[in-house]
Chain A
Amino acid sequence: MKKKPFNHLDLTIYEETLDNGLQVYIIPKKNCNNARATFVTRYGSNESEFIPKGKTEMIHVPDGIAHFLEHKLFEQKDGVDPFSFYDESGSECNASTNPWQTNYWFAGTDKFEKNLNFLLDFVQEPYFTKENVEKEKGIIVQELEMYMDQPYRVGFEKSNFNLLQVHPLRIATGGTKESVESITKEDLYTCYETFYHPSNMALVITGNVDPEKMIELIKNNQKKKQFSKIEPITVKEYQEPDAVAKELEEIEMNITIPKVFMNYKVNITNIQDVDKTLIPLYVSIYLDLKLGNTSQFLEELKKEEIVTDDIYFDFADIQTHLLISIENDTEKKDELIERVDQELKNKKTMEAEFIRKKKTILSSCVFMSDHIDRLNNRLVSDFVKYKRVRNDIYDQYQTLNYQDFRKVIDSLNFDYKSILIIHPKTS
Chain B
Amino acid sequence: MKYQKYNQGNYNLHTIQTDRFKTIQVIVNYKNELKKEEITIRNFLVDMLLSTSKDYPTNRSLSIATEDLYNISAQGTNIRSGKYSILSFKSSFLNEKYTEEGMNEKSLSFFLNLLYQPNVVNGKFDETSFEIIKRGLKEDIESTKDNPRRYSLLRMYETMAPNAKISLHPSGYLEDLEKITRENLYAYYQHLIQDSMIDIFVIGDIDNSQIREYLKQHIVEPIKRSASADHILTYADIKEEEQVIREKMDITQSQLVIGCKVDELTPFERQYVMNVYSYILGGGGDSKLFQTVREKNSLCYFVSSSYNYLYHTLVITAGISAKTFQKTLSLIKEQIKSMEEGDFSEEMIEKACATFINGCKEVEDSPSLLSNVYLVHEYIGNDLLEEKLANIKKVTKQMIIEVAKKVHVDTVFLLEGEKNEKETV
B251: Cβ under 8 A from any A Cβ: yes
Given A33-B365, A88-B354, A425-B250, A364 and B301 touching (CB < 8 A)?
A: no
Q: Which of these binds chain B: A146-154, A188-196, A215-223, A261-269? A: A146-154
Report which residue of A32, A81, A89, A109 has the largest number of chain B beta carbons within 10 angstroms of its beta carbon: A109
User: How far is B22's CA from A137's CA once the two chains are assembled, in angstroms?
Assistant: 46
Given A33-B362, A34-B362, A149-B251, CB of A138 within 8 Å of CB of B298? yes
Chain A CB within 8 A of B88 CB: no
> Which of A54-62, A164-172, A291-299, A317-325 is the contact stretch?
A291-299
Asked if B21 and A257 sit within 8 Å, CB to CB, the answer is no
Q: How many A-B residue contacts, CB cutoff 8 Å?
A: 165
With an 8 A cutoff between CB atoms, is A254 at the interface? Answer: yes
Establish whether residues B60 and A367, one from each chain, have CB atoms under 8 Å apart when the complex forms. Answer: no
List A contacts of B285 (CB < 8 A). Answer: 81-84, 87, 93
User: In the complex, which of the residues A139, A296, A299, A309 contacts B301, with contact meaning CB atoms closer than 8 Å?
Assistant: A139
Q: Is the CB of A256 within 8 A of B146?
A: yes
Of B59, B301, B357, B366, most A-chain CB atoms within 10 Å: B301
A59 to B362, CA, bound (A): 46
Which candidate, A240-248, A355-363, A411-419, is the interface stretch facing chain B? A355-363
A21–chain B nearest beta-carbon distance, Å:
31
User: B410 → chain A, closest Cβ, in Å?
Assistant: 26
Chain A residues closer than 8 Å to B355, beta-carbon distance? 87, 90
| Shortest Cβ distance from A110 into B: residue | B358
Interface residue count for B (Cβ, 8 Å)? 63
The verdict on B420 contacting chain A, using a C-beta distance below 8 Å, is yes
Q: How many residues of A are in contact with the other chain, CB < 8 A?
A: 63
A175 at the interface (CB under 8 A from B): no
* A15 interfacial by beta-carbon distance below 8 Å: no
Residues of B within 8 A of A295 (CB): 60
How far is B23's CA from A313's CA once the two chains are assembled, in angstroms?
27
Q: Which residues of B contact A255 (CB under 8 A)?
A: 143, 146
Closest Cβ–Cβ distance, residue A264 to chain B (whole Å):
24
Please report which residues of chain B, range 334-358, place their CB below 8 angstroms from some CB of chain A when the two chains form the complex: 350-351, 353-358
User: B356 is contacted by which of A90, A298, A370 (Cβ under 8 Å)?
Assistant: A90
Which B111-169 residues have a C-beta within 8 angstroms of A?
128, 132, 135-136, 139, 142-143, 145-146, 148
Distance in angstroms from B339 CB to nearest chain A CB is: 17
Interchain CB contact under 8 A, B354 and A146? no
Extra 9 A-B pairs, beta carbons < 8 Å, given A90-B351, A294-B67, A296-B60:
A33-B361, A87-B284, A142-B300, A149-B148, A256-B143, A302-B132, A363-B94, A366-B98, A371-B366
Query: What would be 16 A-B contacts, judged by CB atoms less than 8 Å apart?
Result: A33-B361, A83-B284, A84-B351, A87-B354, A93-B285, A110-B354, A146-B253, A146-B301, A149-B253, A254-B146, A257-B139, A257-B143, A364-B71, A367-B23, A367-B94, A427-B250
7 residue pairs, one from A and one from B, having the closest CB atoms: A83-B285, A138-B298, A90-B354, A90-B358, A90-B355, A143-B301, A109-B361
